[in-house]
């Protein structure tokens, strides 16, 4: 052991290499922050961003420790390892400082939600915009500081480093700028927020999903059909013709409709009576619709082969929209069978029977 320049703090010797007091303190703090990365990130961030941020903080801690050890072992004449260590420390604390500021920005300007006894804070237009500004400012300050620590003052004064970064951002802006702007527009319009059930057509397929989180470049949705996550670019989401099913046009709730093709030989009274009996059973067993509003049975189309009937009803639990549709169809099918009313299109059914009798099917 030997006395350090600080007087009351001693350095240590490991395997013949002398670690000064400052080196020892740096390694100790880095190790403490390495193991404290998880609780720090849990406090400052959402659950869905924890893994990446924890990994980033721990990687920087590990690199700082390696740089300190390299400085002691190799003892370079130009002290490049010391400069690298200082630059890594600047990057680490800039990353941590940005998280701390963004945490208070989200608490001040974000929207507090309580779901299943769990309190979360979702981004708003103000919080997302301020977070972007904070991140950009802190990043620029960190870059300039690192360039000065590395002795690249001439490059910095000539604007070379920042100019190259600006050129790269300008050349790639078509990849990231539309998604950032679209994300801000979605948050600012408040047309859809976290937890809302939306419907849109993606590549010709109808998607009914719940919004999980609107992020910087994309929106994560929970597909209610297959129960999995769907990632949609913010710019694409605005082009899909978004429908928010959670925002009702009236206090009655969401007005849903089921369509059935029924033979012309069945009168309106027969179809209405059959449908009403089915809904009596639905209300008795399920209780999943707004029962104070009677179902509306309407003629929607008079085709060549059958009448298309629409059955309208109201629901408010839109997260169960798909299961409610399936359940209601099963009840109406069962009641139609009891009432001797076929839900098959007559001409198609007759052709199918003829094909069976001729042995061609």
pLDDT truncated to tens, each residue of the chain (361 aa)? 444 444 444 556 655 556 678 888 888 899 999 999 888 888 887 766 678 888 899 999 999 988 888 887 777 665 777 888 888 999 999 999 998 998 888 888 877 776 656 667 777 777 888 888 888 889 888 888 887 887 776 655 545 666 667 777 777 777 778 888 888 888 888 788 888 899 888 877 888 999 888 888 888 889 888 888 888 888 888 888 788 888 887 888 899 999 999 989 899 999 999 999 999 999 888 888 888 888 999 999 988 888 999 999 999 888 888 999 999 999 999 999 999 998 887 765 555 544 454 555 4
Alpha-carbon span 289 to 135, nearest angstrom: 47
Q: What is the pLDDT at residue 159?
A: 57
Q: State the maximum Cα–Cα separation within the chain, in Å, rounded to a whole number.
A: 105
**What are the residues whose beta carbons fall under 8 Å from the beta carbon of 249, sequence distance 6 or more?**
255
Domain at 197-244, CATH class: mainly beta
Domain boundaries for CATH 2.30.30 within the chain: 197-244
Domain boundaries for CATH 3.30.70.100 within the chain: 254-349
Q: What is the pLDDT at residue 270?
A: 92
Q: What is the pLDDT at residue 17?
A: 58
Structure tokens at 86: 């200082």
Structure tokens at 117: 């006894």
Span 254-349 CATH architecture: 2-Layer Sandwich (3.30)
Structure tokens at 228: 């999995």
Q: What is the pLDDT at residue 20?
A: 75
Q: What is the pLDDT at residue 296?
A: 92
Alpha-carbon span 314 to 303, nearest angstrom: 27
Locate all alpha helices (DSSP H) within the chain, ordered by sequence: 21-35, 37-44, 50-74, 80-109, 125-149, 153-157, 160-189, 234-239, 268-285, 321-338, 346-358
Alpha-carbon span 43 to 5, nearest angstrom: 37
The rounded mean pLDDT for the chain is 81
- The length of the chain is 361
Residue of 38, 31, 42 lying closest to 55 (CA atoms): 38
């Amino acid at each position: 052991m030997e006395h350090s320049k600080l007087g009351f703090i001693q350095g240590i010797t490991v395997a013949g290499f002398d670690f000064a007091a400052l080196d020892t303190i740096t390694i100790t703090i880095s190790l403490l922050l390495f193991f404290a990365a998880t609780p720090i990130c849990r406090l400052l961030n959402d659950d869905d961003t924890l893994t990446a941020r924890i990994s980033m903080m721990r990687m920087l801690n590990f690199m700082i420790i390696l740089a300190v050890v390299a400085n002691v072992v190799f003892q370079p004449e130009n002290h490049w390892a010391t400069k690298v260590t200082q630059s890594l420390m600047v990057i680490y604390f800039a990353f941590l400082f940005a998280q701390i500021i963004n945490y208070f920005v989200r608490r001040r300007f974000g929207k507090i939600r309580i779901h299943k006894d769990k309190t979360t804070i979702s981004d708003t237009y103000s919080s997302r915009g301020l977070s972007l500004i904070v991140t950009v400012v802190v990043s620029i300050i960190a870059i300039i500081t690192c360039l000065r620590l590395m002795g690249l003052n001439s490059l910095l004064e000539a604007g070379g480093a920042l100019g190259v970064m600006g050129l790269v951002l300008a050349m790639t802006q078509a990849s990231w700028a539309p998604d950032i702007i679209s994300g801000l527009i979605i948050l600012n319009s408040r047309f859809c927020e976290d937890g809302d059930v939306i419907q849109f057509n993606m590549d010709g397929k109808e998607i009914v999903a719940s919004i999980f989180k609107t992020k910087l470049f994309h929106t994560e949705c929970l597909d209610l059909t297959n129960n999995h996550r769907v990632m949609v670019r913010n710019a694409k989401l605005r082009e899909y013709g978004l429908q928010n099913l959670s925002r009702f046009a009236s206090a009655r709730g969401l007005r849903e409709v089921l369509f059935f093709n029924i033979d012309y030989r069945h009168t309106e009274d027969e179809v209405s009576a059959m449908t009403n009996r089915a809904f009596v059973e639905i209300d008795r067993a399920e209780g999943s619709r707004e029962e104070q509003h009677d179902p509306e049975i309407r003629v929607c189309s008079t085709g060549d082969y059958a009448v298309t009937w629409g059955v309208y009803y109201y629901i408010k639990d839109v997260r169960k929209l798909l299961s409610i549709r399936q359940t209601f169809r099963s009840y109406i099918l069962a009641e139609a069978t009891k009432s001797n009313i076929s839900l098959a299109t007559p001409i198609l059914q007759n052709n199918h029977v003829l094909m069976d009798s001729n042995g061609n099917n």
